[in-house]
Structures are given as C-alpha cells and as structure tokens.
Amino acid sequence: MTQLFVHGGSLVHEDGVRDEDLLIENGVIIGVGETSKLAADAQRIDATGLLVFPGLIDSQVHFREPGLEHKEDLATGSLCCVAGGVTAFCEMPNTKPPTTDPKALADKLERAAGRSWADYAFFLGASKDNADSLGEWETAPGCAGVKIFMGSSTGSLLVPDDETLERILRSGERRVAVHSEDELLLQQNYAAAPKGAPYAIHPQVRSIETAVRSTTRLLDLVEKTGRKVHLLHISTAEELDLLRERDLGDLVTKEATPNHLFLCAPECYERFGAHAQMNPPVRDRRHRDALREALADGTIDVIGSDHAPHTLEEKAKPWPESPSGIPGTQTILPLLLTAVHDGWLRLEDIVRLLGGGPSRVYGIEGKGRLAPGFDGDFVLVDPRIEDSLPLAWLRSRAGWSPYEGTKLHGMPTRTFVRGIETYGKHVTHGAPMGRPLRYRTTSA
C-alpha cells in the first residue's frame, strides 16, 4: 500500500476553493479534508501556499502519430500535457492514415502504451465508408467516441453532406464530436480568394456564414435524430445566439478553445501571421467577448486546447498553403490562471471547463474531480509565479507558440498521475505510465 498525503494547500473544486488535505492510496483518492485513514508512513507533499487542481482533461488534441511525427508524436504531445497540468487527453483521428476503423484505433492504443505520460483515448473519424459501422466500433476500450469534420481542415477526413451525416448520427449512441464549418461554402470562398493574400484573410474566407450555416444544419439533424453532439471550437457570436435560441439542452454541448478566447483579429494575424491561423479561425473582438461571456454564463461546457502542431517551416508558407493549427495543450492552464488574475474567469471555472465538463460531456470515469473514488490525478499550481512565457519551457516538437512572451500569472509546478509524480521541476519523473481512459458507456 502506498499513500500520498498532500497537505497545506487550497483544493480547487467546481463549487469552491477550500483549504483541505488530500489523501491518495494506490493511485486513488481516499480522503479529502479528513485524515482518519492516514498511515504513518505516507509520503508527504507540502502544498503550503499552492493551489491543488484535479489533473485537467484536454478533450481535443492532435498528436500526429502515426504519419506526421515530424510535427509531434504521442510521447512529445503527452509530455506537453503533463508539463502543463493536463493528465488525460482525447486525441483526434486526422492522423496519417486517419483513425477510421478498429485496426487503426488498436494501433494508436498500442503506440501509446509505455510512451504516453498522460492517460489517453482516441477518436474514430467518421466517413462515408464507415458511417454505418461506427455504432458497433465506438464502444471499443480506449475509444473517445466519433469525430465528424463537416468542413475540411488538416487531413483527409470530411463529411460534407447531410445524408451521410444523418447516417452517422443514427449509428451509435455516444456523444459525437463535431467540427462545424460548411464545406460547400468553404470551397466557394477559397476559389474566390486571391492566393498569397495576407493571413488576415483567413477569417473572411472561413467566414461567419460558413460556421453558422453548418451549425444550423447540424442542429436540424440533431433534432431529427435525437443524437447527442459536442460542438467543437465555437468561433462566432452568431452561433452562440443560435444555440441559446434553439436550446436543445443536453443534446448539444459546447467547446471553446483558448485561441478564440485570447487572440483577436486582425491584430493576431498582423503580429503572428500563420501562427494565429487555425480552423475555425480566430475572429475579431466581438466574437472573443461573446465567447468569454458564454464561458461565464455556463453556455460553454468545455475548454479544449485543439493542440494542433505544425513546424515553423510549414507555417512559413504563404496563405492558403500555410497549414491551420496552433499548439496549445501546455499553455491552457497558465493562460486560464492569467484570466483569473485578470478577473474574467474564476478558479472554479477552470475545474468546471477542464475537469467536470469533459468528464460529463463524454462520460469519462474517475477523472476531473478531487473527491474520494476518483483517480489521484492532481496538479500543484503556484499562483505567485509571474513569467513571460518562455519558449524554452515548451515541450512541443513544433517549437513555437503565439503566446511566447505573454505575461503569465500562475504556473503549474508539479503534475501527478494516479498518485505518481510525472512532471516536476521542469523534468519528467519515472517512466511514461499513461493508460486508456475508462468511459461509462464502454467496458474498458
């Protein structure tokens, strides 16, 4: 029996921040704020002056393995996670080859075993060819569910038409993650746009209308089929209005990314060029402010980083060859701590959006809360650290971030996965010991 006793810190829960001790035994939390089971030989961690967060769940990352390991792989991607306080990730299927069948899923699980620093699950990508099999496949152990790209982005996955979409939504029961941009409109807009235009054209081409039209189509199909969806990386104020108007309750849960909350057009494109380019695009302040409001009023259920690394060389290409995507799983927590310092977010919201939120939305078991019976995943945060995000701190193979140099207030200092310190003092500890996530809907 191994016990870990974290004392003197302030535990951050969805419903408050409390000075409590945390007791973990054999990787599972057995006590919060009470020490009746504390053994004399427990390992002790002094968290005086520190915040103790549950390990964060990043439910949208692209780690590029197999096929695009020059951008990232499961070892480097999961290292970014634990360096930033993320102890579980759900990885997207647009790898090479894409994860579109049980064999490709099994291959990713095999690759992650013994190499991932954080716990993991992998999405299956939906296509015309596998539409009717997804319901059978989605319950496999280690499967995060099904992901649909309604508009094309990085990789070949695409479901542009309502007929296939409906077939996918009718196959299976788990909540489906959806990238919502209207492919037809995207193609028309790209065809009309001058090649080599400034990067600031990106949100004009991937316009508000491309997002709204697609999300309207999706909501119609959700109403028709009754299938639950999770709308990824919402980028427009108009979609937020639409979602509130049509209020489909738990049928439609919603995600925002840090990039849409912290960056603003046109300045971000002027300052960072293609390093601010992602899909759906970062838009102007009106949308950013609407998203911040939607975080505060509970419209947004989850923050996902959409960690999407590309190399500096790839990003140096002129628009539209410059690939879309921004690395971000490591910077999510320091940015949100800074939002708390700046007064537009609460510490409790961070746990709601990256702990309880993803766990509820996707049915992840035993994660996202500091409570007895949950995995002993936690992060120590020093709220007094002030730093200008140093490039040397970043662990992604991409080697850049639009947030480099951003003044931060608060940093994760040590990360524990199931009671074992995995990252601390800027280095990894022990060996990668990530495991597949368990879901309420699967036997895993």
Q: Closest approach of Cβ 26 to ligand DOR, in Å?
A: 37
Nearer to ligand DOR, 11 or 61 (CB): 61
User: DSSP letters along 283-298, please?
Assistant: -BHHHHHHHHHHHHTT
Q: Which of 308, 340, 345, 379 touches ligand DOR by CB under 6 A? A: 308
Interaction mask 354-373, ligand DOR, x per CB under 6 A = --------------------
Q: Closest approach of Cβ 279 to ligand DOR, in Å?
A: 4
User: Which of 21, 101, 182, 306 does the annotation list as catalytic?
Assistant: 306
Give the 3-state secondary structure of residue 439: strand
| Binding positions for ligand DOR, 394-423, rule CB under 6 A | none
352 in Cβ contact with 375 (< 8 Å): no
Nearer to ligand DOR, 6 or 212 (CB): 212
Nearer to ligand DOR, 10 or 99 (CB): 99
Number of residues near ligand DOR (by CB under 6 A): 10
272 in Cβ contact with 380 (< 8 Å): no
By the rule CB under 6 A, 279 interacts with ligand DOR: yes
Distance CA 3, CA 97 (A): 43
* CA proximity to 304, closest of 362, 375, 233, 215: 233
| Binding positions for ligand DOR, 38-77, rule CB under 6 A | 62
Nearer to ligand DOR, 46 or 190 (CB): 190
185 in Cβ contact with 207 (< 8 Å): yes
By the rule CB under 6 A, 325 interacts with ligand DOR: yes
Q: Closest approach of Cβ 182 to ligand DOR, in Å?
A: 14
Structure tokens, 387? 């730093």
CA 286 to chain centre: 23
Rounded to a whole number of angstroms, the distance between the first and last alpha carbons of the chain is: 24
Distance CA 129, CA 334 (A): 41
Q: Closest approach of Cβ 278 to ligand DOR, in Å?
A: 3
Distance CA 288, CA 234 (A): 10
Q: Closest approach of Cβ 315 to ligand DOR, in Å?
A: 11
Specify the DSSP class assigned to residue 317.
Answer: S
Nearer to ligand DOR, 282 or 337 (CB): 282
By the rule CB under 6 A, 154 interacts with ligand DOR: yes
* CA proximity to 56, closest of 417, 317, 442, 421: 417
By the rule CB under 6 A, 278 interacts with ligand DOR: yes
Active site residue 306: yes
Phi, psi of 264 (to 5 degrees): -140, 135
Q: Closest approach of Cβ 326 to ligand DOR, in Å?
A: 7
5 in Cβ contact with 45 (< 8 Å): yes
Interaction mask 83-122, ligand DOR, x per CB under 6 A = -----------x----------------------------
76 in Cβ contact with 116 (< 8 Å): no
Active centre residues (catalytic): 306
Residues that bind ligand DOR (CB under 6 A): 62, 94, 153-154, 179, 278-279, 308, 324-325
